């Protein structure tokens, strides 16, 4: 439940993410961005609401609203409901959290992160 708590805390507090760099993986020609695409596809395939919500928050803060919307919508439309603990120690339905995140996305309430990206 720590990841769920992290997600809920990010939604509630609007905290900025730590700076990161998009670098080339050591000893490979494959950029880290390509491996990220594989990871994102795996998260979408898994349907894990915690991973989908957390990744959606990451995308929203990077300004990738359509990717974030896809993640949040996947959770909001899921027939299964999951109880997730918020940073305040309360329990919330995963679909309600996803709908809240979609609303925040529509209103532009996600604080952009200071993510360094290579050209």
User: How does pLDDT run across 17-53, given as a tens digit for each residue?
Assistant: 333 333 333 434 444 466 677 777 777 777 888 889 8
One-character DSSP codes across 29-80: SSBHHHHHHHHHHHHHHH--HHHHHHHHHHHHHTT-HHHHHHHHHHHHT-SS
pLDDT of residue 72: 96
Provide the whole-model pTM.
Answer: 0.62
When pLDDT is cut at 50, 70 and 90, the band that residue 70 belongs to is: very high
The domain limits of the chain are 2-13+32-107
100 vs 8, residue with greater confidence: 100
Q: What per-residue confidence (pLDDT) applies to 8?
A: 54
């Amino acid at each position: 439940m720590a990841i769920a708590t992290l997600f809920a805390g990010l939604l509630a507090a609007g905290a900025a993410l730590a700076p990161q760099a998009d670098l080339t993986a050591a000893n490979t020609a494959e950029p880290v961005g390509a491996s990220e695409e594989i990871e994102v596809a795996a998260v979408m395939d898994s349907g894990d609401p915690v991973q989908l919500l957390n990744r959606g928050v990451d995308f929203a803060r990077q300004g990738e609203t359509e990717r974030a919307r896809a993640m949040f919508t996947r959770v909001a439309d899921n027939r299964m409901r999951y109880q997730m603990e918020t940073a305040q120690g309360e329990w919330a339905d995963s679909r309600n959290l996803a709908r809240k995140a979609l609303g925040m996305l529509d209103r532009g309430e996600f604080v952009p992160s200071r993510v360094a990206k290579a050209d």
